[in-house]
Structure formats: C-alpha cells, structure tokens
C-alpha cells in the first residue's frame, strides 16, 4: 500500500559559515494550494526553523545560499504574474530582513552560490531557442556567472545539460564543482543529442569540476564511482566533497527499488559514510566537514516519509531533526 505524508518537500542550500545553521527550500504540502515555496534557516542543534515567507507578488523564493560572511542570502524567485521577466535573483539582508532584486529575467536561475570573495554569483540557467513555428525549444541547462558590481552575466558552459544540480566554488574562486545530468550535446555548435550514449558510457556519474577561466571542451565527470555519483557539498577548505551514490549492499532491496547513501570523496578516494538502506535525497556538509544534514525517504514505498537527519561524521552517529510547529518562526517579508 502506498503511504502518504504531509511532510513538506525540502532541499538544502549551504551551511552558515559558523556551521550552526543550514538554509533550505521549504514547500509545504498542506494549506498550500498555490504551490508557494519558501526559504528556511534551520538551527541544527535546536531544530528551530525561521521560515521566510516572501511578499505577495512572489510565488517562489528558492535555492537560497549564505554569503561568505553569513550576513546575506542570495536566492532565486518567481513572480505570481505570468509576464515577461517574471523570474530573477534577489539578495536578502539577514540583519534587517530587507531584500532587493538584482536581476530580472525570462529564464529561471537555479542553485546559486557566492564566490569566496562575494564579488560573483554562479548558477544554472535553462536555455531556449525560438523555432520557425514560434515555439520555444528547450536547449538544456548551462552554468552562468554574474559580477555583482556590474550585474554582467557570463556563460561558462555550453553543453545543454539535461538538468543542473548543486554548484559551489572552491576556495581559489576560479574552480567550481557541480552536479548535472548528462549533456544533450558536445558543445555550443553541436546540436546532436547524445544523452543515451553518454549516460551509458559514464554510468550516470554527474560530478564535474571546471575552471571559470577555461571553457570546457568536453563534459567528463571528475568523479566516477561505479554506477553513479552525485555532488552535494564541499568543505570550506575544498579538500572534502560530500556525494551521494548507489549503495552496493542495498540497491536491489524493496522489490527492485534502489538506495542512495552518503559518501566523502577525499584524496581521490571515496569513503562511504552511511549504510541506512534509505533513499537519501539531498544533503549539505558543514564547513569543517564534521557534520552533515540530509533529507531521506526512510520507507520503501518512496515519496512517503521524508525526514531531516543530522550525521556526526566523527562519531558516525545519526539523529533526526524534527521540525515541530512550535519550533517554527514565520518571517513575513514585506
């Protein structure tokens, strides 16, 4: 029997610089007829959630990311109106809860992150071209960077990835890591759709490391781990990469359903952190790489019981972070 849950859909951004809080997307499943998405700031030690509710003209605030000093959050938004340039990027000042739009666009931006010097943003953007019949054709997703002083955008990749995932800069500010489902073409001038062959060759490994100063000519995964690996977060010093990957021991449990576990990639070696037999959906790594938070579907029916957990990596202990109504503070942005 399929189980159902009223638990909200949750996806993580990054940790605050001091490692005490993590930002998340928060989409309630009940009393949310309009499908509104909020951002939240979760205290990992107390379970207290500051739920940031956008003002009425916005339908979605999502993909938030702390600034390097922890004083701001950059986020993506979508307006309620179905009009041109109804998407964009905003910055929220945590001391005052004041915000400002810094970019309006026809294209949604996803998985934003600050550069270490806070002078640039990196994000995914989905591309479209207009066909002769007037229809807009989906060209896939690529990585962009924006200079915060001038708001000028630069396209960093031209592969038309099927879908983009997490993005982070390494401490040098030039190298970045990301997760993206296979490219739909080889480069900017090649429109041949290659995803079936590509996926078969690389076995759904989706972690890439590129340099912003060099346009990559090939999308070759930087980390290849058996059938699959996906990027989630990196430590502040850039030496540890938190990944999810299929578990060898449990991938055939539950009538063929598979499981994702957490792994740490360090010194070109992959180390498994969890063996929970759950479907781990998303995760974030603390700056010192001593803790991780993750969202997991703990039941074999899938999509039924998503919960937040805290992993102490040093002691290898896992504890649930339960978000109780009495621990939620609503921040209504005007």
Q: Domain with 167 in it: what CATH number?
A: 2.120.10.30
Phi-psi region of 109 (alpha: psi -120 to 50; beta: other; left: phi over 0): beta
Instruction: Give the residue numbers spanning the domain of 171.
Output: 9-332
In this structure, is residue 247 part of a structural domain?
Answer: yes
Total tally of structural domains belonging to the chain: 1
pLDDT value, residue 258: 64
Query: pLDDT per residue over 85-98, tens digit each?
Result: 889 999 999 999 99
**Mean pLDDT score across all residues of the chain:** 86
Q: Is 143 within 8 Å of 178 (Cβ atoms)?
A: yes
Query: pLDDT per residue over 258-303, tens digit each?
Result: 678 999 999 999 999 998 888 898 999 999 999 999 999 877 555 5
The per-residue DSSP string of 133-146 comes to TSPEEEEEEEEEEE
Is pTM beyond 0.75 here? yes
Confidence of residue 249 (pLDDT cuts 50, 70, 90): low
In this structure, is residue 3 part of a structural domain?
Answer: no
In this structure, is residue 1 part of a structural domain?
Answer: no
Q: Select the more confidently predicted residue: 19 or 192.
A: 19
Distances (CA, A) of 221 to 142, 232, 269: 15, 15, 15
Q: Is 47 within 8 Å of 326 (Cβ atoms)?
A: no
Q: How far is CA 321 from the centre of its chain?
A: 20
């Amino acid at each position: 029997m399929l189980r159902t849950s009223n638990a909200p859909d949750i996806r993580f951004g990054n940790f605050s610089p001091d490692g005490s809080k993590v930002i998340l997307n928060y989409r309630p499943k009940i009393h949310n007829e309009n499908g509104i998405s909020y951002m939240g700031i979760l205290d990992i030690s107390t379970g207290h959630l500051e739920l940031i509710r956008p003002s009425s003209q916005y339908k979605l605030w999502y993909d938030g990311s702390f600034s390097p000093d922890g004083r701001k959050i950059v986020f993506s938004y979508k307006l309620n109106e179905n009009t041109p340039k109804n998407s964009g990027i905003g910055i929220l000042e945590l001391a005052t809860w004041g915000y400002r739009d810094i970019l309006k666009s026809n294209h949604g931006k996803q998985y934003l992150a600050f550069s270490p010097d806070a002078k640039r943003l990196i994000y995914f953007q989905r591309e479209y071209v207009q066909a002769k019949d007037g229809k807009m054709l989906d060209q896939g997703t690529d990585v962009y960077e924006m200079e915060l002083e001038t708001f000028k955008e630069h396209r960093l990749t031209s592969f038309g990835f099927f879908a983009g995932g997490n993005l982070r800069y390494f401490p040098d500010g030039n190298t970045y890591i990301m997760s993206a489902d296979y490219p739909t073409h080889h480069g900017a001038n090649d429109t041949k759709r290659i995803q079936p062959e590509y996926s078969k060759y690389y076995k759904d490994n989706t972690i890439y490391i590129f340099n912003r100063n060099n346009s990559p000519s090939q999308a070759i995964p930087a980390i290849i781990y058996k059938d699959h690996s996906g990027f989630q977060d990196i430590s502040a010093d850039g030496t540890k990469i938190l990944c999810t990957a299929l578990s060898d021991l449990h991938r055939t449990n539950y009538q063929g359903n598979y499981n994702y576990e957490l792994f740490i990639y360090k010194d070109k070696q992959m180390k498994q952190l969890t063996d929970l037999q759950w479907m781990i959906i998303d995760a974030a790594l603390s700056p010192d790489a001593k803790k991780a938070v993750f969202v997991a579907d703990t039941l074999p029916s899938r999509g039924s019981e998503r919960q937040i957990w805290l992993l102490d990596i040093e002691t290898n202990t896992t504890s649930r972070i339960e978000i109780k109504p009495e621990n939620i503070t609503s921040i209504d942005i005007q």
